Amino acid sequence: MAVVNDHTVKAFDEDLNRLRGLISEMGGRAEQALLQAMTALHKGDLDLAAQVVRDDKKIDALEAEVEQLAVQTIALRAPMADDLREMIAALKIVSVVERIGDYAKNIAKRVALMDQTRSIEAIPLLMSMSSIVAELIHDALDSFAARDAELAVRVTVRDKNVDDFYNSIFRTLVTFMMENPKYISESAHLLFVAKNLERMGDHATNIAEMVYYVVTGEHMEERERGEQPEDGAAEQEQG
Amino acid sequence: MTQDDLTIADPKMKAQGVDVFYGDKQAINNVSIDVGTDLVTAFIGPSGCGKSTFLRSLNRMNDTVASAKVTGRIELDGEDIYAPSMDVVQLRARVGMVFQKPNPFPKSIYDNVGYGPRIHGLAPTKADLDVIVERALVRAGLWDEVKDRLLESGTALSGGQQQRLCIARAIAVDPEVILMDEPCSALDPIATAKIEELIHELRGKYAIVIVTHNMQQAARVSQRTAFFHLGTLVEYGKTTDIFTNPKQERTKDYITGRYG
């Protein structure tokens, strides 16, 4: 479905465009926060990590701005049909993106606690996992900007790769801890990093599901989503 | 959604393949729709789309327009309302109408409501008529406001009260269907809310069809919505579906304010 801005009331189009712009900016910042946090982790760059923590405030501020604008638009324009669905999705998407930002911040905060862990073999795996997650977030928000339901479905399918990565990293870290008991504390931090990345992937899926709803008016069928991962490890860790 | 979800089990009125012409000009093209007693049906669509014309064909109000011609079949309880044997006066008592602008008779409040029952022979005695007038005014939510001034002129009431008086007048003859043609467009929000509350109360007692330009109103008061455009019924569905996820592009463009 093409994004058409042709309301009789032009101010309505302006509100919608502003809303879309804010959400794109917010998504871009969240994606950047993730990549910077992982770079900081990889290189032990404390300055970059501190910057990620600082920049998270901007993501929070954008969330508040979108919420305010969406509430105002609902009150003043009484949107209907796809416009209404977009307002509801916007509110939900920004709260998800805000969570993604928080996870990035959480990763950044762990950098200072893990000086001696550069040699842990899980780190390259985490870097690969994070680039997949960043792509998912990017594509989920692109699917929102382009009203692309197919891209949204593909995001949910690809989330399975993130889950597979998580299971693999979980096993790697557990093995590493058994062999290197003095790195248990650092490994535990890396486990949380992996868990954060896995959650971010789930949130990208949530965004994709909202986009699907905006575009089609239907909720995504279970069969269209990626199969639920058999991540016994993830279940254990959650429980 | 399957078609079955939209079936009205026991339709009060049934329109099948209805065309309406004004002279050579076709105003309604092949419209079929059922109206039930348990569901309020809203007709929406841009000005000139034919929704009022179609509404007026449901109680043969178009008969008063010399050039108007209605073809197809419209049934009330299975009976063809355009059949020669149909008594039009009786029909309009069974299918009452409320108009855009309140139009009380220049008579007392009591007579406004009592006139119909009296000429239709529904009230043999004054006491019977008193009961009918009171019941209609109570149902129309107007009784408490006018019970001490029944002999004052109906035209002395406020616009919102006048409209509820017109609804009481329609109810008084014990109709089966009430057609409302933009009943709130001349009213303030409070009076509008009272009419909407009234529609809610009357649902189930009468089959109600309302034409409205106010999208929010259609969404608030109806369970079924029909979208008309250029004389055709473009989409008919559950009101919640029409306003959250219309199937037709033209419906979407209209309700989201992209039409025209």
The DSSP secondary structure of chain A, one letter per residue, reads -------SSHHHHHHHHHHHHHHHHHHHHHHHHHHHHHHHHHHT-HHHHHHHHHHHHHHHHHHHHHHHHHHHHHHHH---HHHHHHHHHHHHHHHHHHHHHHHHHHHHHHHTT-GGGTT-THHHHHHHHHHHHHHHHHHHHHHHHHT-HHHHHHHHHHHHHHHHHHHHHHHHHHHHHHH-GGGHHHHHHHHHHHHHHHHHHHHHHHHHHHHHHHHHSSPPPGGGSPPPP--HHHHHHH-
Q: How confident is the model at residue A2, as a pLDDT?
A: 43
Angle at A56 between CA A50 and CA A186, to 5 degrees: 50
Distance from the Cα of A140 to chain B's closest Cα (Å) equals: 22
Given phi > 0 = left and psi -120 to 50 = alpha, else beta, which region is B97?
beta
Give the ipTM of the model, two decimals please.
Answer: 0.71
Q: Are A142 and A77 in contact (CB under 8 A)?
A: no
* For range A165-188, the mean pLDDT: 91
d(CA B69, CA B83): 14
d(CA A72, CA B168): 39
CB contact under 8 A, A81 and B257: no
d(CA B252, CA B191): 29
CB contact under 8 A, B259 and A8: yes
Which positions in chain B touch A80 (Cβ < 8 Å)? 215, 219, 243-244, 255-257
d(CA B49, CA A84): 25
CB contact under 8 A, A9 and B257: yes
Q: Which of A10, A80, A84 to mutate to probe the B interface, most B CBs <10 Å?
A: A80
d(CA B109, CA B122): 18
Q: How confident is the model at residue A117, as a pLDDT?
A: 56
Average pLDDT, chain A: 88
CB contact under 8 A, A84 and B244: yes
CB contact under 8 A, A12 and B257: yes
Task: Please give the model's pTM, rounded to 2 decimal places.
Answer: 0.79
Q: How confident is the model at residue B164, as a pLDDT?
A: 93
Instruction: Express each pLDDT in A13-64 by its tens digit.
Output: 899 999 999 999 999 999 999 999 999 999 989 999 999 999 999 999 999 9
CB contact under 8 A, A85 and B255: no
B227 bridge partner residues: B44, B235
Which positions in chain B touch A217 (Cβ < 8 Å)? 244-245
Which positions in chain B touch A82 (Cβ < 8 Å)? 252, 256
Percentage of chain A beyond pLDDT 90 is: 73
Interface of A with B (CB under 8 A): 4, 6-9, 12, 77-85, 217-218
Instruction: Express each pLDDT in A114-167 by its tens digit.
Output: 866 566 778 899 999 999 999 999 999 999 999 999 999 999 999 999 999 999
Q: Is it the case that residue A194 has pLDDT exceeding 90? A: yes
Which positions in chain A touch B245 (Cβ < 8 Å)? 81, 85, 217-218
Distance from the Cα of A182 to chain B's closest Cα (Å) equals: 58
Q: How confident is the model at residue A9, as a pLDDT?
A: 85
Phi and psi, residue A2, nearest 5°: -75, 150
Distance from the Cα of B166 to chain A's closest Cα (Å) equals: 30
Distance from the Cα of B189 to chain A's closest Cα (Å) equals: 16
* For range A203-232, the mean pLDDT: 78
B168 bridge partner residues: none
Which positions in chain A touch B216 (Cβ < 8 Å)? 78
Q: Is it the case that residue A229 has pLDDT exceeding 50? A: no
**Residue A81 corresponds to which tokens in the numbers above?**
């049909």
d(CA A164, CA B230): 56
Q: Residue B152 has what DSSP assignment?
A: S
Q: How confident is the model at residue B258, as a pLDDT?
A: 85
Which positions in chain B touch A8 (Cβ < 8 Å)? 257-260
Q: How confident is the model at residue A8, as a pLDDT?
A: 86
Q: pLDDT class for A84, splitting at 50, 70, 90?
A: very high
Interface of B with A (CB under 8 A): 215-216, 219, 243-246, 251-252, 255-260
State which residues of chain B have pLDDT below 50.
Answer: 1-3
Q: How confident is the model at residue A233, as a pLDDT?
A: 43
Closest chain A residue to B260 measured between Cα atoms? A8
Q: Are A73 and A15 in contact (CB under 8 A)?
A: yes
Q: How confident is the model at residue A130, as a pLDDT?
A: 96
Q: How confident is the model at residue A231, as a pLDDT?
A: 45
